[in-house]
Amino acid sequence: MMTADDFPLSDRDLHVLRRTFRDHTELDRWLPGGEQYRRRAYQCFDLATARLAEHGPAALTAIGQPPPYLQSKQINPVAGDIERTFKLIAPDHPVTEPTRHIATAVARLLMTNGVLSADTTPHCLVDAHYMRLIAPGHPAPEGKHRDGLIAGSAHLIQRTNITGGISALYDRYHPDRELRSFVLENPLDSYVFDDERVLHYTTTITVTDPAEGAGLRDVLLIGFRERE
């Protein structure tokens, strides 16, 4: 687990992130059955891993026209084998810098633990998914799953008027073996996972008090994948 103390973000950065989820996400048209509980936007970066230690966030370059996002049907039974495109966040958008800083902190942790390295992953793509769930909704309609990545992370931006959303990690080779479960409750509460070794899942969210308005869960998902 990581918390806000692990990320060099200001109150202004958090404000920019919250506004991005509110103003710049659009309905996710790839949900099964035309369901409408999820909104999203997307950015993609090139990470020069060898430059990370010396250059920090400058080692990540935002890509203006990234390739379509593709997962296999085996990895994602809900939307696999589909070249998906999402609402793009432009490289010059104000949210690019705080997202770059979050991704840098995660990349450094992955390098420290040997998941990324300048030798084995000199360049990789870093996907940033801005995911707004409107309760009731399913953070993981795929069930327990991998993402088909090298590694990934999830970062809470906002949690408002909801119950549920319990996240858990499982042994990839023994899916009934839960390794850890937790709730992301405060801004920038986060977790990082080695996608080769674990499965992950988050339970359904529901509205706590309908009189208080919409129930929202805004999460920034970061994924590291090999660049072809």
State phi, psi for 206 to the nearest 5 degrees. -130, 160
Joined tokens for residue 164: 């549920």
Q: What is the pLDDT at residue 220?
A: 98
The partner residues of 110 in beta bridges, in order of sequence, read none
List, for residues 23-60, the tens digit of each pLDDT value.
999 999 999 888 999 999 999 999 999 999 899 999 99
pLDDT over 80 (residue 151): yes
Instruction: Name the CATH superfamily for 4-226.
Output: q2cbj1_9rhob like domain (2.60.120.620)
Start-to-end CA distance of the chain, whole Å, equals 30
Mean predicted lDDT score pLDDT of the chain: 95
Report the percentage of the chain scoring pLDDT > 70.
Answer: 100
pLDDT over 80 (residue 228): no
pLDDT band at 13 (very low <50, low <70, confident <90, very high): very high
The residue with greater pLDDT, 14 or 227, is 14
Q: Where does the chain show beta strands of DSSP type E?
A: 26-27, 38-48, 60-62, 123-134, 151-160, 162-164, 166-171, 174-183, 190-194, 198-202, 205-207, 216-226
Identity at 65, one-letter amino acid code: Q
List, for residues 83-105, the tens digit of each pLDDT value.
999 999 999 999 999 999 999 99
pLDDT band at 80 (very low <50, low <70, confident <90, very high): confident
**What is d(CA 163, CA 154) in angstroms, rounded to the nearest whole number?**
18
Q: Cβ distance 192 to 109 under 8 Å? A: yes
